[in-house]
Amino acid sequence: QNKKITFTEDAQLSIEEVLEVVKKQTDYNFIYRSDLFVGSPLVNIKKGTVKVGDLLNRCATLTDLQFKFDENGSIFLKKNPKNVQNKRVQQSVTGTVTDSGGLPLPGANIVEKGTTNGVTADFDGNFSMEVSNDDAILVVSYIGFATNEVPINGQTNLVITLTESAASLDEVVLIGYGTQRSKDLTGAISTIDQKKIQDLPVSSVDQQLVGQLPGVQIQQVSGAPGGGTSVKIRGSGSLGAGNEPLYVVDGMPYSSGLNQNLNPLVFINPNNIESITILKDASSTAIYGSRGANGVIMITTKKGKAGLTQINFTSSYGIQQVPSQGRPDLMNQRQFAEFQRDRIDIEVRQRENREPVNADYPEEYRDLDALVGKGTDWYDLILQAAPTQDYNFSLLKGTENSRMDFNLGYFKQDGVLRHTGVERISSKIGVELDLGEQFKIGASLQPTFINQDRANTNQNRSDVIGVSLWANPISKSHDENGNLVPYITTPQSPYHSTWSFANPLFELQESTRNSKTFQNLGIAYVEWDITPSLNVRSSFNTIFSASKFYAYVPSTVGGANRPPIEGTGSSANTRSDSFNWLTENTIKYENVFGKHRINGLLGYTAQKSKANSISINAGPFSNDLIRTINAAQAIGSWGESVNEWSMISYLGRVNYGFDDRYLLTATFRSDGSSRFGSENRFAFFPSIAGAWRVSEEEFFTENNFVNSMKLRVSYGKSGNNNIGNYSHLASVNAGAYIFGNNQVTASYLGISNPFLTWEESGQFDVGLDLELFNNRISLTLDYYNRKSNDMLLNDVIPTTSGFGTQTINQGSVSNKGFEIALGASIIQGDFNWDLNANMSINRNKILSLNDNTERILAGSNDGNPTHVSVVGKPIGQFYGFELEGVYTSEDLQDPSVINSNQVYVGNVKYKDVDGDGIVNDVLDYTIIGNPHPDFIFGFTNNFSYKSVDLGVIVNGQYGGQVMNGLRQTIDNLQGFFNVSEEWVDRYRSEEQPGDGIHSGIPTARPSWGHRVSSLWVEDASYLRIANLTLGYTLPTEIVEKSGFVKGLRLYGSVQNLAMFTNYSGGNPEGQAINQNNTLAPGFDMSSYPLPRTISIGTNITF
């Protein structure tokens, strides 16, 4: 009776008609006496989907019938024995049932609580019935609305208002390996209504989810088209094995791990997604065992439904631009020339012991007054206004015994950084057939092709964005004839010169970094209903992917201080393919015995994945005309990698409900994985959860304040197996050596750890679900405490062991947090205002590392670490010097300051943390900031008036800091680069001491003003208007006249409308691609900027 029936429109049907529909859409048969329904009321049906069981029970309440499900798909209808005492009529009641806007709800069901006595409202929503006494309670229900219980309290004429319920309690929620009634949930599970986010003009579903869900932090680390986001559910629970959740697409564990270059979710067309469920607590994730510890995001694609034909076409077109907010302010031409002249002055004085003269400067710097304006804006030069477009066609169709879906999509996003972009061609076809009454088979294919042009960004100061920020503003990007200058030789002086560089626009134009990937997700399954309550399902899922990466840097593109040299082109080629298969076999049992509702699941799954990749770096190419490997003079390096893993799992779950009041869930999963050492092959992950629907209790008095209340508690274990494929084995690696002229293999052993195993995390969760004020407000509160143990640490060990690091299972981290989700129908009627808000607080703390390591250093800047993880603090604290300002002459007299060649008036003054009088790298580093936010939040407002709707999504974070890594360059007074405008206030002399924070140009060498310091750490709090969408839905009357169009919606939207932040860089969530996102988070390095997108779209249904 879990089969679903779909109604395409609202209707009023007799019970016999209802049964006909059920017969058509399912394989049930009904056996009843032909006069059984004589005189029965009509049933009101709202369009949508409903379970057979629910539908029939609703019919049953209108009559005194009882439905009995038979083993072979027949349903017997029996009249209940009449209960004469209950029929003792004492009072008659009349009333009207309306929706919150006052419109009548014809066909609403009104039943006296605890009896089978009921009626339906007529066409005007009026009803009249006899009740047993004047304390009776009326249960008023209507599909799509929250059920309302109304005590009569002696009244004889009632006006009963039902509110539309977004998350109606009868809704069915997808959980791992099955579904569950929303009201029966015992775990912390969030869902999102796909309709609310479908118009967002982005390439992947993770970007659509930003700000929508409590406990889910989605960071847009880069704005690159097709680039990945960093997703963390309930904080970081791992140091060495990644913190990204497991994605499950149509039952197939799809991917986990951040791929900043190419987001794995780009392969899933968001237009084709039907629902998204996020499993957060361990009772929900334990069913995914050794992969569940970071949470699970389950994605289901759209499928055909019985009796439905729906053709849908959507399109949108937008223009993206980089907002002016966050563009860095660098010195203008004149300020820059002064800075360079000061630098040359120092050299002249030191080397030649004389005062500098104007002729010492390169000609370009000599006449300061002629240097007006900003100069060349290299950053602006490489950016553009870029179009983005999305077209999608889908067809869903269902007949009596077959259902199919078809989807075809094309998406193209040009990059706001010139010569970058991504293109997606995706499609899906799925069919499901009923074979007889008990068997069902289905299959689907989802082939997708991605073509992506990348640029090197988010890496270091030499990438195109890095260069465009420090490039000399006095040099010109184009020559007198308007042609692009390939290589910029900056003004040269024998005393000091800034770095020359490849014109970043020329580099973007001439170099290639192209990735092409084809991926197919294939699913085939068979289901057998052995009895109505016992179901067996076997499925075989596959992911095949083939990809090709090709990069070519022609000889015309130089580098920093590296002018182009003819005949030096180089190429990099990678070809990869992977095949991942999974077979799942489950048996499900579901039944109701009186007040006992029970369902159970047992399953066995096996999965294997193999990925091959071959890479060849070739060069130099004698000319750039032919760029294939055959034209290269040599192959510089090459390699092949094969990565294989397998997994066998046993899983089970029991849900038990008593009287809809007490709910209990117990699950287990046992995973055996090839990744685990032979000593620890199988892992066991149990969980248990309970819920109490307090509002169903007798003592819970009916009131209009709290309509529903559920208390949930859960505890369970889940794991993280992201430990690399062969980490437990000592590999024998093959190098090469040569004796005389004989090349030989030179072997050496890697380090082994046969005990290496999964990380384990135990999570306790307590939650409260409330429906308040006539169901107009829903509130969910969750507190959790997650402790991750046996963490995989890439432990730094003494190199006297022969190795620098070893992966071990040790250490623990706790994440404690609080989540709040609020849904409210603030105003209802012609004008509607719905609000969804969420806020999450997470506190991360390292409880222990290991016996040998007090701290884990991470990140890299100028060869020194930028982050530290220590016990008692959150993971990945910023680490560096604390800037105290500038040395003054008083400091030099201070006896506690030991005179070194870095101690002189005007030089940068870092804090001597260990107090030994000398400031030393690393030894005097200290914690200078925390990248973790105090809390994150999101709220979505939806307004509608008749056919017009307006949606606003706001999200943000409060607290937490970000380190701008490019400051190593643009705060670097060595004089090789342009620097931030704030350095105009630098120390220049005793007479012009500047602002006391910005030191002078270094006169001692080596200089060290460009070390990581507290100056680099900035507040990362932000508030972003992530989206604003204004839509217009053509009224049904007009649409219907056209004859074939069923619905038409037009909308305009602005994505990333505005951001309010104190961060001076472009993106407070930016993250360098080459820095570990767990141990060195919040390190923004020449980030690809996030565009603002203004788009228009249509959505037509036929």
Site for another protein in 707-736 (CB under 8 A): 725-726, 729-736
- As measured in angstroms, the least distance from the Cβ of 807 to another protein is 11
- As measured in angstroms, the least distance from the Cβ of 797 to another protein is 4
State the binding string over 483-522 for another protein (x if CB under 8 A, else -): -----------xxxx-x-----------------------
- As measured in angstroms, the least distance from the Cβ of 466 to another protein is 17
**Under rule CB under 8 A, which residues in 552-591 are in contact with another protein?**
555, 559, 561-562, 565-568
8 Å CB contact between 842 and 787: no
**Under rule CB under 8 A, which residues in 666-685 are in contact with another protein?**
672-674, 678, 681
Q: Count of residues binding another protein (CB under 8 A)? A: 87
Q: Choose which of 746, 826, 898, 948 interacts with another protein (CB under 8 A).
A: 746
606 is a site residue for another protein (CB under 8 A): yes
Structure tokens at 422: 């991504």
Closer by beta carbon to another protein, 501 or else 1083: 501
- As measured in angstroms, the least distance from the Cβ of 31 to another protein is 47
8 Å CB contact between 1049 and 1030: no
749 is a site residue for another protein (CB under 8 A): yes
Spatial separation of the C-alpha atoms in residues 228 and 209, rounded to whole Å: 13
Task: Tell how far CA 997 is from the center of its chain.
Answer: 39
914 is a site residue for another protein (CB under 8 A): no
Piece of 511-519, 758-766, 794-802, 926-934 that binds another protein (CB under 8 A): 794-802
- As measured in angstroms, the least distance from the Cβ of 898 to another protein is 14
8 Å CB contact between 758 and 689: no
Q: Choose which of 408, 654, 713, 796 interacts with another protein (CB under 8 A).
A: 796
916 is a site residue for another protein (CB under 8 A): no
1004 is a site residue for another protein (CB under 8 A): yes
Spatial separation of the C-alpha atoms in residues 1037 and 26, rounded to whole Å: 32
Q: Choose which of 798, 872, 895, 1043 interacts with another protein (CB under 8 A).
A: 798
**Under rule CB under 8 A, which residues in 33-72 are in contact with another protein?**
none
Closer by beta carbon to another protein, 672 or else 1052: 672
Spatial separation of the C-alpha atoms in residues 270 and 260, rounded to whole Å: 19
Q: Peptide bond before 504: cis, by omega within 30 degrees of 0?
A: no
Spatial separation of the C-alpha atoms in residues 883 and 888, rounded to whole Å: 14
**Under rule CB under 8 A, which residues in 837-866 are in contact with another protein?**
852-853, 863-864
Q: Choose which of 8, 156, 641, 1062 interacts with another protein (CB under 8 A).
A: 641
Burial class of residue 81, CB neighbours in 10 A (0-12, 13-18, 19+): exposed
Helical (H) or strand (E) element with 561: none
**Under rule CB under 8 A, which residues in 314-373 are in contact with another protein?**
350-352
Q: Choose which of 90, 94, 126, 747 interacts with another protein (CB under 8 A).
A: 747
Say which residue the tokens 């995989």 belong to.
792
Query: Greatest CA span in the chain, whole angstroms?
Result: 118
**Residues 6 or more apart in contact with residue 480 via CB below 8 angstroms:** none
- As measured in angstroms, the least distance from the Cβ of 761 to another protein is 23
Structure tokens at 235: 């904080």
- DSSP 8-class letter at 55: H
831 is a site residue for another protein (CB under 8 A): no
SS3 395: strand
Helical (H) or strand (E) element with 680: none
- DSSP 8-class letter at 235: S
Piece of 68-76, 97-105, 233-241, 646-654 that binds another protein (CB under 8 A): 646-654
Spatial separation of the C-alpha atoms in residues 834 and 942, rounded to whole Å: 5
Q: What is the DSSP string of 605-621?
A: EEEEEEEEEEEEEEEEE
Other CB atoms within a 10 A radius of the CB of residue 530 amount to: 12
804 is a site residue for another protein (CB under 8 A): yes
Piece of 402-410, 636-644, 941-949, 952-960 that binds another protein (CB under 8 A): 636-644
State the binding string over 945-974 for another protein (x if CB under 8 A, else -): -----------------------------x
Q: Choose which of 9, 479, 480, 640 interacts with another protein (CB under 8 A).
A: 640
Spatial separation of the C-alpha atoms in residues 204 and 248, rounded to whole Å: 15
| β-sheet bridge partners, residue 609 | 580, 645
Q: Peptide bond before 486: cis, by omega within 30 degrees of 0?
A: no
Spatial separation of the C-alpha atoms in residues 11 and 45, rounded to whole Å: 5
Q: Choose which of 126, 358, 743, 1042 interacts with another protein (CB under 8 A).
A: 743
Say which residue the tokens 């990333």 belong to.
1056
Q: Choose which of 101, 102, 114, 802 interacts with another protein (CB under 8 A).
A: 802
Closer by beta carbon to another protein, 216 or else 856: 856
- As measured in angstroms, the least distance from the Cβ of 1049 to another protein is 51
602 is a site residue for another protein (CB under 8 A): no
926-939 burial, b if ≥16 CB within 10 A, otherwise e?
A: bebbbbbbebbbbb
748 is a site residue for another protein (CB under 8 A): yes
Closer by beta carbon to another protein, 607 or else 789: 607
User: Nearest-CA neighbor of 609 among 581, 571, 637, 649?
Assistant: 581
